[in-house]
Amino acid sequence: MPSPKIPLHRLSVLLLIAALTALASGCLATFGPQAVERTHPAYNEAIIASINEQMLQNLVRMRYRDVTFFLEIGSVTTSLSLQASAGVDAALNFGTRDSLSPGVGVGYADNPTISYTPLQGENLLKSLLSPLQLEAILVLTQSGWNIDRVFGLCLERVNNLYNAPNASGPTPKLEPDYEEFNHLLESLHRLQRRQLIEIGTTHRQGSPGILVRLVADDAEYQADIERIYELLQLDREVKDFDLSTDFLAVKKTQWTVRPRSISGLLYYLSQTVETPEQHQSDGLVTVTTSKTGGVFDWTHTPAGRRFKIRTTAERPDNAYIATYYRGHWFYIEDTDLESKSTFMLLRQLFDLQAGQTKSQGPTLTLPVR
């Protein structure tokens, strides 16, 4: 038997349904696991970039003695919605055949909502101003970080050696004391590379503590070992030294240290911010005077050796992180691995010390359109 003829309008409807089904199934493929694969890396990258830029800008603000502020991303929620439309356009022609044109449209919308909470209040202030815990410094030296980087940033004094203590606040007018501390860090770095120094926990007289052990019988590195004994004025008959923070009881059988606070560390690193000459002549930043009467170069300090924030009038092309402030771009070069490592260490210390503080005040929730 001959197959039945399908009317034109019914055929158009069937084609419309088939097209709508095919397009909808293709769009639905963007939901579920595939939606996570698409959106999760993008949000992750955006959040990291935002937090890094905030930290960088706060360092620049400190250099200019401007107020700093930390805004935490409390939560990110997003909803995906499917939007579909269908229709048929008809054209009537007298004397000729009529025509029906099916139309279909399918799309999806991503609607994120981001909640911001300010980090502020008494608890945060105490966290920022409290000295770093020796246990935290110990963990860093045992988890792959170079001892000269950790000590050079986190400690402002070891026995009678000073690591720019007046740089733990707004930029000082006079050059800080730091040269001998650099010599100590150089020797410690070589000993750590040779595994001739160990820092670990110990129990003496029933109380826990931190011990520094020098292996003083390696002839090749004897000069570095002697240098450490001389700089720190240690008893040469002792190999194991207690790590203490009590400067009221300084002994030749211990390393007495004064850790920086997170606030002091932020200020110390802010001294390395390069500023435009016009801003210096306008008095927007403090220019530190060297002992010889010229302009002091902060790149010679332990912090300056390991961290540098550069500036330019135009947006930099080779920036790892960049922020626009006071009409100029401030940035860390993508090829400056020393500065990137130091910035990573700063982020870890900040999260460890201040990141545990509960956010205070109201939460600001913004839907993103």
What's the pLDDT tens digit per position in 101-156?
Answer: 555 555 556 677 777 777 777 777 888 889 999 888 888 988 889 999 999 999 99
Burial (CB count <10 Å: 0-12, 13-18, 19+), residue 265 = buried
| Tokens of residue 188, six digits | 């410690």
Residues 41 and 169 in one domain: no
Residues 152 and 298 in one domain: yes
19: Cβ contacts below 8 Å, ≥ 6 apart: 102, 104
Residues 35 and 162 in one domain: no
Residues 172 and 57 in one domain: no
Residue ranges making up the domain that contains 51 = 8-119
Using the 8-state DSSP alphabet, how is residue 165 labeled?
Answer: G
Residues 215 and 283 in one domain: yes
State if pTM tops 0.75.
Answer: yes
Stronger pLDDT, 312 or 96, i.e. the higher one: 312
Residues 42 and 133 in one domain: no
| Tokens of residue 140, six digits | 């860093």
pLDDT of residue 312: 97
Q: Report if residue 102 sits inside a domain.
A: yes
What's the pLDDT tens digit per position in 328-366?
Answer: 999 999 999 999 999 999 999 998 887 555 544 444 454
Residues 219 and 112 in one domain: no
CA–CA dist 252, 202 (Å, integer): 19
β-pair type (364-367, 161-162)? unpaired
Q: Report if residue 163 sits inside a domain.
A: yes
Q: Which of 63, 90, 119 is the last residue of a domain?
A: 119
Q: Report if residue 235 sits inside a domain.
A: yes
Q: Which of 88, 119, 150 is the last residue of a domain?
A: 119
Rg of the chain over Cα atoms, rounded to whole angstroms, equals 31
